[in-house]
Amino acid sequence: MAAMPELPEVETSRRGIAPHVEEQTIVNVVIRERRLRWPISPIIDTKLLGATITSVGRRAKYLLINTTQGTAILHLGMSGHVYVVDAGTPAGIHDHVDVEFSSGKALRLTDPRRFGSLHWSEDPLGHELLRSLGPEPLCEEFSDEYLWTSSRGRRVAIKQFIMNAQIVVGVGNIYASESLFLSGIHPKRAAGRIAKHRYERLAGSIKDVLERAIRAGGTTLRDFYGGDGEAGYFRQQLDVYDRENEPCRICKTPITVIVQGQRSTFYCKNCQR
DNA sequence: ACTGGCACCTGGGCGC
DNA sequence: TGCGCCCAGGTGCCAG
């Protein structure tokens, strides 16, 4: 099982856990490991205890667990998962947090690599980590006009430009490669040297690929009660990611892999210019 | 102000 | 079977 959370996986998690945790009252908080990307503050234990969850939101790849006392801000990093278990279910070595409800169920956070984080805030959108994030890719504000305007004078490669969370959130390594393929843009092209009409295709492709992935339940399908994920189906729809040397679905040219900013980029050197 | 590079961690897959 | 190496989907921070 490998569900590295990009935006569709986080959104899938949000939808998966929401019906199980909304309106639940927290009667116990078990934190077994506080050393995530940042240490989990002891404040969180106190704030969560006795609180009732009102809704589960999302901003970028952060889950916002809204309660009557404030908001828990949860990031899943590269290897985090959340799911619902029976309270008291024996914990594995990477099961760092259980939030137990009066119903006898619990929300469990598992994160082997511990790149995730958990914060508390009464004003989550004003939180240090969320404050200066760019727009959501699926909102209207994110458009060709926006991309074109914000890219003028920028020499950075377009792949890294769209993965920059100050520009737009939620475009991770997989969907960056995929959306550039769909819009026919070479990943190394300087962001500032792309014409507006090409940004129209790019903005559309980003929205399209993310929406399709969300509809497919993220790249990995999960059962949010009980735990284990099932290898997902969106992977089968990927055009370039992880397809080195396999034929381009359009022109049959073998897919090329390069490294940009220490991450793999997959593209078709014939279709993308 | 940008840009590129490093760091934080563990686990899985591969070649020998 | 075992060991060492390389790779992984995120992102804040640093120096230049």
Provide the residue ranges of all domains of chain A, joining segments of one domain with +.
Answer: 7-126, 144-267
- Predicted pLDDT at A2: 47
A7-126 topology per CATH = N-terminal domain of MutM-like DNA repair proteins (3.20.190)
Measured CA A187 to C1' B3 distance, in angstroms: 16
Asked whether residue A193, judged by its CB, lies under 7 Å from any atom of the DNA or RNA strand B, the reply is no
CATH entry 1.10.8.50 includes domain A144-267: yes
Enumerate the nucleotides of strand C whose atoms come under 7 Å of any protein CB: 7-12
- Predicted pLDDT at A232: 58
| Three-class DSSP category at A191 | helix
Q: Which of A47, A59, A61, A159 is catalytic?
A: A61
Tens digit of each residue's pLDDT, chain A (273 residues): 345 688 999 999 999 999 999 999 999 999 999 999 999 999 999 999 999 999 999 999 999 999 999 999 999 999 999 999 999 999 999 999 999 999 999 999 999 999 999 999 999 999 999 999 999 999 999 999 999 999 999 999 999 999 999 999 999 999 999 999 999 999 999 999 999 999 999 999 999 999 999 988 765 556 677 655 555 567 778 999 999 999 999 999 999 999 999 999 999 999 999
The whole-angstrom separation of Cα A184 and Cα A178 is 10
The 3-state DSSP composition of chain A as helix, strand, coil percent (nearest 5) reads 30, 25, 45
Same fold, A7-126 and A144-267: no
Global pTM value: 0.95
Name the residue among A107, A102, A113 with its Cα closest to residue A63: A107
The whole-angstrom separation of Cα A5 and Cα A14 is 12
